[in-house]
Amino acid sequence: MLGARGLDELAVELYDRGKDLPPAARILDIGTSRIFKSGMWSPYLVNFRPVLSYDARSEVSREKQLETRNSLLKEYGVRLQSLEAISGEKIDHIFGPAEAGTPLAAAIGGLCGFSVLWERVANKESFGSHQTLEGILLPGQRVVVIDDVVTTGLTKREGREMIQAANGIADDVVVGFDRCQGGREAVLDMGMTFSSVLNAYDVFAALYDNDRLTAGECDFLIEYTTSAPIFEEPAIHPWKAT
- Number of CB atoms found within 10 A of residue 210's CB: 14
Strands 133-134 and 116-119: antiparallel
* Of 124, 123, 119, residue with least CA distance to 98: 119
The number of helix segments (H) and strand segments (E) in the chain equals 7, 8
Contact predicate 51/14, CB 8 Å:
yes
What is the pLDDT, as a whole number, of residue 203? 97
Global pTM reads: 0.92
The domain 3-226 having CATH identifier 1.10.1040.10: the answer here is no
pLDDT by residue (tens digit) across 171-203? 999 999 999 999 999 999 999 999 999 999 999
pLDDT by residue (tens digit) across 22-80? 887 889 999 999 999 889 999 999 999 999 999 888 888 999 999 999 999 999 999 99
Q: Which residues 6+ apart lie within 8 Å of 21 measured at CB?
A: 50, 55, 57, 58
Between CA 20 and CA 230 the distance in angstroms is: 28
Beta bridge partners of 177: 149, 198
Average pLDDT of every residue of the chain: 92
Helix (H) or strand (E) holding 187: helix 183-189
Task: Give the range among 50-54, 127-131, 214-218 with minimum mean pLDDT.
Answer: 127-131
In three-state secondary structure terms, 234 is coil
Between CA 28 and CA 11 the distance in angstroms is: 9
